[in-house]
Amino acid sequence: MVKNKVLVVVGPTAVGKTALGIELAREFSGEIISGDSQQVYRGLNIGTAKATEEERALAVHHLIDVRELTEKFSVFDFVKEANFLIREILEVGKVPIIVGGTGLYIQALIEGYHLGGQENHEAMMKLRAELSLLSDEELFERVQSAGLTVVEMNRRRAMRALEIEHFGSDEENKDSEFEFCLIGLSMARADLYARIDKRVEMMMTAGLLDEARGLYENFPEVQATKGIGYKELFPYFSGEILLDEAVELVKRNSRRYAKRQLTWFKNRMAVDFFDVQEENFREKIFELVRDFLGETGRE
C-alpha cells in the first residue's frame, strides 16, 4: 500500500493530460480524480474534453458526471470531495492520480485549505487576483508589514501566508495530510496553439454546436455556461455573430486560457515540467513516479 502519496498531472488544455493520467493509472495501479471544474457536469462531454467511455474503461475515473447542469460546483466542493476520494483510493491500496487543469482547485487541494468555506470563494478569487498583480518586492513587503513569518520566501508562500492571514487559520485551513508529486506537461507554444485550434475543429465535428445549443436553449444562466467552448457560441445562437466568428472566439479564448494555466502552475506551484515533444518524456516521468512511490513498476 502506498501511504499518503498522490500523483498530480497538470498543464494547459490539449497538452495530453488525460492520456498520461491513464498511462500512469495502468502502470502504477492507480485511479484518476478529475481536477477540472467543468467535467463534473453531466451532458457536457465534448466542450470539456471529458475522457471518453473507451478511455474510462482503461482506468477508474472519479469526479466526472457528478453534478446536474443546474447545480453549482466550487473550489470548496472540489477540495472536500477530492480529499474523501483520495482516502478511499489509498485505503484499497491504489494510487490516487489527480488529472486536470483548473489551477485554483488543485492548488487549494495541495495546500490543504478551503479558505473559510464556500461562501468566501469569490472573496478569495478577488484577493488572489490582487496579489498576483504585485511585484515580488511589493508582495514581500506586504508580508512583512502584516508581521508574518515565511520560511524561504517566494511568491507562492508569500501569497499563501497573506491568504490564510486574511481568511483565518481555522480547522479548514490545516496543511494537507497527503504528499503530492506534481507532474506538469508543456510543449512549444506555437505547437500547443496549433493543437488547440485543431482540437476545437474536431470538437465542432463531434457535435459541440448541438451541445452548446442545448445549454443556450435550456440552461442559459447556469454556472456551466461560463465555460470556454460554450459561452462563445451563445452570440451565434442569438444572431449577433456568424458561426465562423464564434468558432474563432473559442479558439482564441482556449489559447488564452492555456497561457493562463501555464502561468498559474509555473508561478504558484512547485511543478516538475516535462516537454511532451521530447522523445523520452514518458520514461522520465515514470522514473520520477517510481522514485516518489518507492516502487519499481506495476504492482
Binding site for ATP, by residue number, is 11-18
Give the list of residues 6+ apart from residue 21 with CB closer than 8 angstroms, or none.
9, 32, 59, 97, 99
State how far the Cα of 163 lies from the Cα of 287, in Å rounded to an integer.
Answer: 35
Question: What is the side-by-side strand order in the sheet with 95-99?
Answer: 61-62, 30-34, 95-99, 5-10, 179-186, 272-275
Residue 115 and residue 128: Cα distance in Å, rounded?
A: 12
Confirm if 43 and 80 have CB atoms less than 8 A apart. Answer: no
Can you say which residues are annotated as belonging to the binding site for substrate?
13-18
The grid coordinates of residue 257 equal: 486560457
Question: 501569497: which residue's cell?
Answer: 159
Pick out the residues of the known binding site.
11-18
Read off φ and ψ for residue 164, nearest 5 degrees.
-70, -35
Q: Which residue pairs from 138-142 have beta carbons closer than 8 angstroms and sit at least 24 positions apart in sequence?
A: none
Contacts of 225 (CB under 8 A, 6+ apart): 215, 216, 219, 231, 234
- Write out the E strands in the chain: 5-10, 30-34, 61-62, 95-99, 179-186, 272-275
